[in-house]
Amino acid sequence: MFSENQLKALSHNLDDSRVKTIEKANMSFKYLETYDVINVANTIFNYMWDYTITRLDEVARETNQNGNHVITFSAIVKVKIYDNQRNFITREDTGVGTGTAKMIGDAIDNASKSAVSDSLKRSLRSCGGQFGNNLYSKAPNTNQHQQHNYQHSAQLQQPQQYNQTSNNQVQNSTPQDYSSLYNIGLTVMEQGKNLVVIGDDIFSKKDSVKAFGFKWDGVSKMWYKPIQQQQAA
């Protein structure tokens, strides 16, 4: 189901710069922002994915000591990830969100959106570390090829096998040799009309990335270069 480039991208450890922290009840919790997860999914799956809200229910309603409405929603989101033949796999999980506001409509709006976002992120996390799966574990990070099971994919191979194939595919389709980027743990992938670079600790390797003409996009939080520019190189 997943291509070799996608498997390689999914196997990377999570970039710490993407991880946010929130304090609740004197405890720190790490999480990924929803827009960030969607951007990564768009990049790895080349926009060939979608999701459906299969359930969205209000599960609690109360008023706090400040007179604010406190609403809690529960959601179930189903994610479909397609390949070029429109075959797909599904991921599904539950999420919960709470909204607090003076106006009950605002509290409901915030709670329902939060529940859907939580469910979406939890559905995608089973695809691997790029979607924050390790944030749910108290154990230290280990090799993510061992952590994630892709039994649904007949194309799953050992990392040593598909790393080399992925490099060859990129180099054969483009005139520039990115082997030096692969050697430092980065991956070059096509996204629409651009090439993008993903990988671990990418900011510490920015000089190597910039040397190949990639530019930083502050909106998508990615290094990119138009394919047309690449072909002219």
Under 8 Å between Cβ of 83 and 91: no
Q: How far apart are CA 137 and CA 9, in angstroms?
A: 20
Q: How far apart are CA 151 and CA 140, in angstroms?
A: 24
User: Under DSSP, is residue 200 helix (H, G, I), strand (E, B) or coil?
Assistant: coil
Domain 4-147, what fold?
Answer: Enolase-like; domain 1 (3.30.390)
Q: Where in the chain is the domain with CATH 3.30.390.80?
A: 4-147
Separation of first and last alpha carbons in the chain: 32
Q: Which residues contact 11 (CB under 8 A, 6 or more apart)?
A: 128, 129, 144, 145, 148, 159
pLDDT at 219: 61
Q: How far apart are CA 182 and CA 199, in angstroms?
A: 9
Give strand ranges (E) for the chain. 20-24, 27-31, 49-63, 69-82, 88-101, 186-191, 194-199, 215-217, 222-226
Q: What is the pLDDT of residues 7-51, one digit of tens each?
A: 888 888 888 888 888 876 566 778 889 999 999 999 999 899 999
pLDDT at 51: 95
Stretches where the chain sits below pLDDT 50 are 138-175, 231
pLDDT at 63: 93
Q: Which residues contact 217 (CB under 8 A, 6 or more apart)?
A: 223, 224
